[in-house]
Homo-oligomer: A and B are copies of this chain.
Amino acid sequence: MSLNWNTITGPQVLVDSRKSKRNIKRMQEKAASAHVALRPHFKTHQSVTIGKWFGKPEETPIAVSSAEMARHFADAGWQDILLAIPMNPRALPAYNRLAREVRFGLTIENADSLKAIARLLNPVDVYIEIDAGYGRTGISWRAHETINLILEQARTMPQVRGLGLLLHAGNSYTMRGEHGIAQIHEESLQRLAELIENLHIPQHELRISVGDTPTCSRMESFLGADEIRPGNYVFYDWQQQRIGACDWPDVALAVACPIIGIYPERNEVVVHGGAVHFSKDSVSIDGNSVFGQVMHQTANGWGSPIQGAQLVSVSQEHGKVRVSEAMLKELELGDLLIIVPAHSCLVMAAFNGECTVI
């Protein structure tokens, strides 16, 4: 599709379909050659249009992170949906409706949640979240006894269709480069293997779901896992580039922002594009929080990063961009800057999944 830049009036998300589809295909090929299933996490894009780039809805198992998101994709034809966040007992009626309509999976991390599941009228898959070192949610991989108790209880319940273990090695986000990612990857899988050895239930009765974008992007083997569950790779972003999970040409999402102020005395411009568009997620450059990287504009999208041109602060609707003296001289009010955000998932959430596909 050819892009008419003149139709862009305000901050607008651009998705480069060629790059995104290439990212999707690459992960599918990797999963196939690693002999694991792929369950992409759809919280990154939240878009039905983009969701269909992954394949036919009825043939694509997905992960989501809220009951609303599950409802959104169930209504659009997806039929195997895993809620990859610990279940919320208050959302039981929503879960029940979903479980009636699709193959629906819930994530739990304690025996109490089984009491809520016992009140469901339709069966669900139940995944126990394992914390293998990230320290956000999940039961410690060392807590064999607790996990065995939950599995034994769950396995007897008529509301439980399939049983699994779920792992998200979010600590891979603190790494830099393939070596660091590999370290977290190996540590997590090793801890999972150690746990599985100590379970009373045979491994083949459990579905093992792992994954986060850095490890899934850079690692080739997922020994012990039945499926991988990355999400961000559909677009990537500046954080992923910094981690080393992708390279600049893989980044498939940017925000086009019009320049509304030019300040030669401080080598800055201000764009319409602020915290409500970029979120306040950042990367750390020389100890400073930076919110986006300005890219070279091309006829139909963007190319490489412009050295020294970065979104250095955001308030609600304003974004302050530092540029070189030479670049500033070329800029005029109303020109667009194409900015790759720190974190594309939060940008798509801020725009409610609305974007211009190029």
Contact = CB atoms under 8 A, between A and B. Distances in A.
Interface of A: 8-10, 43, 65-68, 85-91, 93-94, 109-110, 112-113, 116, 135-137, 140, 170, 258, 260-262, 265-266, 270, 272, 275-276, 279-282, 315-318, 320, 332-334, 345-346, 349-350, 352
Given A9-B88, A261-B86, A261-B137, A333 B270 contact: no
Contact of A86 (B260, B265, B276, B282): B260
A67 B315 contact: no
Interface of A is mostly: mixed
A67 B113 CA distance: 46
A65 B9 contact: no
Contacts of A43: 316-317
> What number of copies of this chain does the assembly contain?
2
Given A279-B275, A281-B275, A67 B10 contact: yes
A8 B266 CA distance: 48
Contact of A345 (B68, B86, B260, B316): B316
Contacts of A113: 333
A243 to B, nearest CB: 15
Contact of A89 (B85, B275, B279, B333): B333
Contact of A333 (B112, B260, B349, B352): B112
A15 B116 CA distance: 30
Given A10-B68, A112-B332, A137-B318, 17 more contacts: A9-B91, A10-B90, A65-B316, A65-B317, A66-B317, A85-B260, A85-B317, A87-B260, A89-B258, A90-B258, A110-B261, A113-B333, A137-B261, A170-B315, A275-B279, A276-B350, A316-B349
A218 to B, nearest CB: 21
Contacts of A85: 260, 272, 317-318
Nearest to A94: B9
Given A275-B279, A275-B281, A136 B333 contact: no
A66 B10 contact: yes
Given A85-B318, A317-B43, A91 B280 contact: no
A317 to B, nearest CB: 4
Contacts of A272: 66, 85, 88
A346 B276 contact: yes
Contacts of A91: 9-10, 258
3 closest A-B pairs (Cβ-Cβ)?
A89-B334, A280-B280, A86-B260
A16 B109 CA distance: 34
A249 to B, nearest CB: 25
A67 B88 CA distance: 38
A66 B9 CA distance: 11
Point out which of A66, A137, A260, A334 has the most chain B C-beta atoms below 10 A from its C-beta.
A260
A346 B88 contact: no
Nearest to A107: B260
Nearest to A277: B349
Nearest to A115: B333
A30 B113 CA distance: 52
